[in-house]
Amino acid sequence: MSDSRIPSFRRGVKFRFDAVRDAWIVLAPERLFVPDEHAAEVLKLVDGARTLSGIADDLCARFDAPRDVVLTDVAAMLDDLAERGVVAW
Amino acid sequence: MVAPPDPPMSLLLELTHRCPLQCPYCSNPLKLERAADELSTADWLSVLDQAAALGVLQVHFSGGEPMARADLPDLVRHAAKLGLYTNLITSAVLLNERTLGALAESGLDHVQISFQGSDAAGADRIGNYAGGHAKKLAAAALVRASGLALTLNFVVHRHNIARVPDMIAMGEAFGAGRIEIANVQYYGWGLLNRAALLPTRAALDECTDTVLSARARLRGRMLIDYVVPDYYAAEPKGCMGGWARRFINISPAGRALPCHAAETLPGFDWPDVRTHSLADIWYASEPFVRYRGTGWMPEPCRSCDRREQDWGGCRCQAFALTGDASRTDPACHLSPDHAMMAEAAQAASAPAPPFAYRRIGQRGV
Ligand code: SF4
Ligand code: SF4
């Protein structure tokens, strides 16, 4: 299974570490949320160059999880974030 | 012992109440502050420093018209350097290539342009500013060309609610990432003009259908945020995410408020950012603590399982309608005052009275 779609942050969306809360934060116009740990690990790999498959490979290598499951999970998570205006394909 | 609150998320700076427009629903207080009373640049810079240290993540530069302040680019640059997400909320009539360029260079993240409608005649009548709509169109095109993220904000009421489809089409035409279809909120000037502005339930229902189907059609391309008037809701909004839970508003003269409408409430000694630290204001000042959480709640909120979702609704609306800020928001169907909402909504079917336009030094009444 492979997926060559490339996610990137939408215009006006920022993803950064906040030292006060000790957490990664997604910042967008009138939107602001703290992604859970899984989502934060995925978002750290969104750079407008890596493909979905590339992101899944990276996560598999680090977290020792079955690749197909990871790919499906990551695709679902990013699709959801795309609907919420955070990332675009 | 009540747990200490989380740090604030957002800060809204009302840099000035000056504005070339005179919208009859303006969210500024009826008693507008004059230029001579505005905070200095140094005061605002200090507020930004303290906000970032406190954990604020997002700063909204608003007004009045924030572009009426010559130091706006300096304030944006400072905020961006502190890592704050910077959002400009503007009428855009002062926005041109030069002023936008200075803001983009300063590190501005996002521009929100308010529109008074989708057609020039109707929009300019609302803002009471000839040629305003054309200026806004030109400004939106400039923002789009600059590569900055753009939101178009449409304020909706009985005179333009039928044109919501055109507003959505405008957002699409500009390639905006996001639009807001925001019904007027009835505080301050909006409340003063309620009979002239509140749409009928039928008009609102049609608007809601339009928004929902456009949302489905534009999913993943353009976000549509939608705000309805409380008058037709069964439950209140979680106003500001709860009193003093996420948000700080600073008035032009430096008074810190838990929401922009809070100055309408009597019996508060609002802390001044020139004499109090933002941390003290957030964690310890009496006005911020007073309605924070659920301890202050009367019935029916106190025993309601929605109390930590909507936090009992809006204190300013409770005061404006019942004269008591600590009552359940009348927008709630469980409130003993809820019938007031339906009574007020009857005016929506009567002929609209003229507007009381927003003016400095005049209450419009
Ligand atoms: S609502 Fe209208 S009058 Fe009030 S600040 Fe915005 S543009 Fe100016
Ligand atoms: S009773 Fe209070 S807490 Fe319950 S829904 Fe109504 S306003 Fe919200």
Across chain B, what does the average pLDDT equal? Answer: 93
- Number of inter-chain CB pairs under 8 A, A vs B: 57
Pocket test for ligand 1, best of B13, B19, B60, B67 (most atoms within 8 A of CB): B19
Where does chain B have alpha helices with state H? 41-54, 72-81, 97-105, 120-127, 132-146, 164-174, 188-192, 194-197, 201-217, 278-284, 286-290, 307-310, 315-322, 339-346
Contact B108, B80 (CB under 8 A): yes
Res B1 pLDDT > 90: no
pLDDT at B332: 94
* Closest ligand 2 atom to B332 CA: 6
Phi-psi region of B244 (alpha: psi -120 to 50; beta: other; left: phi over 0): left
Please report residues of A whose CB lies closer than 8 A to that of B10.
Answer: 32
* Closest ligand 1 atom to B358 CA: 3
pLDDT at A1: 67
Say which of B55, B83, B225 has its CB closest to residue A21: B55
Say which of A27, A30, A88 has its CB closest to residue B57: A27
Separation of B3 CA from ligand 1 center, angstroms?
Answer: 38
Of residues B79 and A69, more confidently modeled: B79
pLDDT at B365: 34
pLDDT at B255: 97
Please report residues of B whose CB lies closer than 8 A to that of A85.
Answer: 177-178, 223
Pocket test for ligand 2, best of B328, B329, B333 (most atoms within 8 A of CB): B328
Phi-psi region of B346 (alpha: psi -120 to 50; beta: other; left: phi over 0): alpha
Query: Are B57 and A25 a contacting pair at CB < 8 A?
Result: yes
- Reduce the secondary structure of chain A to three states and give it as a string: CCCCCCCEECCCCEEEEECCCCEEEEEECCEEECCCHHHHHHHCCCCCCCCHHHHHHHHHHHHCCCHHHHHHHHHHHHHHHHHCCCEEC
Res B16 pLDDT > 50: yes
Reported as half-sphere exposure (CB side, CA atoms, 13 A), residue B333 has a value of 5
Segment B324-348 shows an average pLDDT of 92
Res B361 pLDDT > 90: no
Contact B310, B238 (CB under 8 A): yes
Say which of A14, A21, A83 has its CB closest to residue B220: A83
pLDDT at A89: 86
Q: Work out whether strand A31-33 and strand A23-28 pair parallel, antiparallel, or are unpaired.
A: antiparallel
The region of weakest confidence among A25-29, B15-19, B52-56 is A25-29
Q: What confidence tier does B240 reach under pLDDT thresholds 50, 70, 90?
A: confident
Q: Nearest ligand, CA of residue B16?
A: 1
Question: What gap in Å lies between CA A25 and CA A37, rounded to an integer?
Answer: 11
Query: What CA–CA distances, in Å, run from B276 to B61, B67, B150, B273, B284?
Result: 21, 27, 35, 5, 10
Q: Quick one: which of B88, B84, B83 has its CA closest to B104?
A: B88
Contact with chain B for residue A22, Cβ under 8 A: no
Nearest residue of B to residue A21, measured between CA atoms: B55
Q: Which domains does chain A have, with CATH numbers?
A: 8-84 (1.10.10.1150)
Residue pLDDT, tens place only, B284-295: 999 999 999 999
Residues whose CB falls within 8 Å of the CB of residue A20, separated by 6 or more in sequence, listed in order:
B7, B53, B54, B55
Query: Are A29 and B149 a contacting pair at CB < 8 A?
Result: yes
Nearest residue of A to residue B218, measured between CA atoms: A83
Residue pLDDT, tens place only, B182-203: 999 998 899 999 999 999 999 9
ipTM: 0.87
pTM above 0.80, yes or no: yes
The angle subtended at Cα B32 by Cα B108 and Cα B259, nearest 5°, is: 60
Segment B127-143 shows an average pLDDT of 96
Q: Nearest ligand, CA of residue B308?
A: 2
Separation of B363 CA from ligand 2 center, angstroms?
Answer: 33
Instruction: Looking at the complex, report in whole angstroms how far the Cα of residue B220 sits from the nearest Cα belonging to chain A.
Output: 5
Residue pLDDT, tens place only, B97-116: 999 999 999 999 999 999 99
Q: Nearest ligand, CA of residue B23?
A: 1
Query: Are B151 and A21 a contacting pair at CB < 8 A?
Result: no
Question: What gap in Å lies between CA B134 and CA B353, rounded to an integer?
Answer: 27
Largest CA distance in chain A: 40
